[in-house]
Chains A and B, each alone.
Chain A
Amino acid sequence: MLMGLFDAAAFRTAHSALTGLSRRQEAIASNIANVDTRGYARKEVSFEDALRAQISDDAGSSGGAQGEVTMETTDARHIGGGGPEAGAAGIAGSGTRPRDVVASRNDGNTVGVDEEMTMLVDTQLRYQALSQSLGTRISTLRTVIRGQ
């Protein structure tokens, strides 16, 4: 019961998601800053798949205290990770990559400001929702510890 309350996997998942979202925020900042840079390729961060894999790994090993998190290596340059600490690192390193699209502008820049702004609001709301729910969870724990 107590172990269920101090569920490390939930915290780890939230931590990973927050890390991924802050990486996405970084990519958006870079895209907007480079809105007038000739030939700039828009950066995109996708971490949802890695996160999903991590969650299912956690669920698969729910009998144990902590789930093993491993990183899939699909490229020779990837570093295969493992162990419970690898989750956040896996998210932090997950694909920031230039997107393969044909530039619609003469200068070869693939940034669309409207798209970035939508992404910005999306990221911001997700981050705030997640940090709020994490705060709620922590305050629940605090209530349990204080016993009031």
Chain B
Amino acid sequence: MGLFESLRISASGLSAQRMRMDIVANNVANLNTTRGVDGQPYRRQSVTFREQTGGSAFSDVLGLARGGGADTPAGVEVAGVHADTSAPRKVHNPSHPDADENGDIFLPNIDMVTEMTDLVGANRAYQASVTVLNATKAIAQSAISIGRNG
């Protein structure tokens, strides 16, 4: 269903970018977390996206059956949330409760600049999807009003 499919695709973009923002928020909130869920310092998380493969619509199934592959536009989804495996930051702070025998503590491997640029990127991509959504809405409204007046 043409325009409704466009709305769904834009919505998938919105939720994917919102997920990315959630991850950034989590990273920034855990900037100084020395005790993660596993007792180790919190590890920076990042999100990866992948293209959704086809829907259950008849045309999609037919396209796949004909060996055409997923050439129908199908939106985006979160492929996974990954932990950054780079080493934690080592800071000398003997008075800290989590300091080791050398007086060092290990802080999460989070770089504020990276997080902020990621946030801006997610923000802009979200806005772009909103713009497309509004345009689709305007198109749908003009389609609905064909032959309405007069």
Contact = CB atoms under 8 A, between A and B. Distances in A.
Contacts of B32: none
Q: Per DSSP, are chain B's interface residues mostly helix, strand or loop, or mixed?
A: helix
Contact of B2 (A22, A31, A32, A35): A22
A29 interface: yes
Interface residues of B, number: 46
Contacts of A98: 71
Contacts, number: 135
Contacts of A96: 71-73
B139 A25 contact: yes
Q: Chain A interface residue count: which class?
A: 35 or more
Interface string B26-70: 000000000000000000000011110000000100000011100
A128 B13 CA distance: 24
Contacts of B13: 29, 32-35
Interface stretch (B83-91, B92-100, B107-115, B128-136): B128-136
B102 interface: no
Nearest to A143: B150
Contact of B75 (A33, A38, A93): A33
A142 interface: yes
Interface stretch (A51-59, A64-72, A133-141): A133-141
B138 A124 contact: yes
Given A77-B67, A131-B145, A139-B150, A26 B73 contact: yes
Interface in A81-124: 92-93, 96-98, 113, 116-117, 120-121, 123-124
26 contacts: A18-B143, A19-B2, A21-B139, A26-B9, A26-B73, A28-B6, A29-B73, A30-B73, A32-B129, A32-B132, A33-B9, A33-B10, A33-B16, A33-B132, A34-B75, A36-B16, A113-B128, A120-B135, A131-B142, A131-B145, A134-B147, A135-B145, A135-B146, A135-B148, A138-B150, A139-B150
The 3 closest A-B CB pairs, nearest first, are A33-B13, A139-B150, A30-B73
